[in-house]
Structures are given as C-alpha cells and as structure tokens.
Amino acid sequence: MKKNLENKKVSIIMNCHNGAKYLNKSISSIINQSYKNWELIFFDNKSDDDSKKILKNFRDNRIKYFKSKKFLKLYEARNLAIKKAKGKYICFCDNDDWWIKEKLKKQINFIKKNKNVNFVFSNLFVYNQKTKKSNLYFKYLMPSGKITQNLLNDYKLGIPSVLMNKKFFENKKFNKRYNIIGDFDFFLNLSLNENFYCIQEPLAYYRIHGDNLSKKIDIYVNEVDHWLKINSDKFKKLNYSLKSLKFFFYKLKLKQLIRWGL
C-alpha cells in the first residue's frame, strides 16, 4: 500500500487553440473534481478568441496559464505543457472534453489499492455534439496488463481517460511531428515495457464535433503511413501482429480516395 498517496498532486494538461466554445464545461469539470490536489496546466497555443478570458473567470490558484509565442503542432505543445507540470501524475483534458466528478479520485484510489500501478485508463463516453447523444467507447470488457497486441488490434485508449506517472516523460516525449496520432505512438511504445490498467467504468467524455473532424483524414492517413514505415519492423521482431492495424490503414486510405472523388 502506498503511503500518503492522497497527497500526491495530479497535473492536468489542457492544450487550447481557440477553444472558447466548449471551454467552460471542460474547466468546470476539473474545478468540481472530488479529488482536490491537482493543478491545471493551461497551455494557450496562440489563441485569438476568448479562451483566456473564460479561463480567468475561474479564480482558482491551482490554474497555471502559459501562452505560446507561436502556433505549434498539438504534440509539441503537449510536450511543453508537461515540462511545466509539478505533479507526480499526469492527466489530459482537452478544451472540448470533460470528466465526471469522481474521475481523479477513482483513479488515485485504484493506484492506492494496487501495487506498482503507474498507468491507469478507463472507459469513456463519446458525445456527439450534433445529435446531443452519448455512447460508450468500449462496448466490451477492456484489457489490463500487457496490452500491446490489444492496442494494435483495436486502439481504443482515450487520452482524456488516462492517469499516468510523470516519470514516463523523463526520457521520452510525444513525437512532435504528429498532430493526431501522437498519443497512439507514445502509448503503444510505452506499453512494450509497462503494464496498463483499466477501470471499466466510463470516467470521461470525448466530444465529437465539426471542428475536430473536418479536414483531418488526409493528416491521419499521412501520420499512420509514417508510423507504419518507422515502427513495423520493430514490432514484428517482437512478435506482434500488425495485420489489424494495416487493415485499418487500408480502410482509411479508401475513405481518403472517396473524399477526393477518385
């Protein structure tokens, strides 16, 4: 049993570029957490909307504001935000997502009750902004332990649900060339050496809306193609199958061709 774990600070990383539309709900879900020992690292990625103004309405000294002098790709911005973090644990909540009230408390309690747990994630809800409906991300029992092959077969590790030890970022960072699959790349490589543990209960909401869907398929295809080229041999040598991932990539390419009208 870990001593005084309830006193360990959690650093919440929120990267924001013109996120005013949904920001109030996201920050409110953090302010209202039942676990109180947290800091919010709000990294303003060159916003020119009311994001800062909305943030400043929350008068809480646990909120730390930083602004980039230039616009950065998402995962470069995340790396810089993590460097500002003082907590033992890292979480991610983007400016259009939100958490249930007990999210941090349930994850910290899980770590407290289970030895040698440094990475815990959960199920989550996917909220469709257009239909105003929520659906479970995982419709089946989620894996725990050595889950590398599970992730390669069907990657459903939602970054808003993650709580992880900050030590994992001491020697490795998100690949800053990525705009979409940086967490996929980081978590898959981390899973080769670490156990990932899952709370089956949904603890977060991931919002789908037009702003985070439009024009992304081309970027997605290019990034997955790049990842496969530089990682396939390594994973194959470790006896992992990439068959499902490659099939997913082919379907993604087909969607791209349809979008292009070819």
Residue position matching structure tokens 């590790």: 157
**Alpha carbon of 153 to those of 218, 244, 249: distances in Å?**
22, 5, 12
Look up residue 141 and give its two tokens. 């029992």
Burial tier of 136 (Cβ tally within 10 Å: 0-12, 13-18, 19+)? exposed
pLDDT in tens, 100-148: 999 999 999 999 999 899 999 999 999 999 999 999 999 989 999 999 9
Task: List Cβ neighbours of 139 (8 Å cut-off, separation of 6 or more).
Answer: none
What is the reported pLDDT for 197? 97
Structural domain spans, the chain: 5-208, 215-262
pLDDT in tens, 152-180: 999 989 999 999 999 999 999 999 999 99
One-letter-per-residue 3-state SS of 161-187:
HCEEEHHHHCCCCCCCCCCCCHHHHHH
Look up residue 228 and give its two tokens. 């496969």
Quote the CA–CA distance of 226 and 107 in Å, as a whole number: 34
Its pTM stands at 0.93
What is the crossing angle of helices 74-83 and 182-191, to 10°?
60
Q: Answer yes or no: is pLDDT of 149 > 50.
A: yes
CATH architecture of 5-208: Alpha-Beta Complex (3.90)
Q: Answer yes or no: is pLDDT of 2 > 60.
A: no
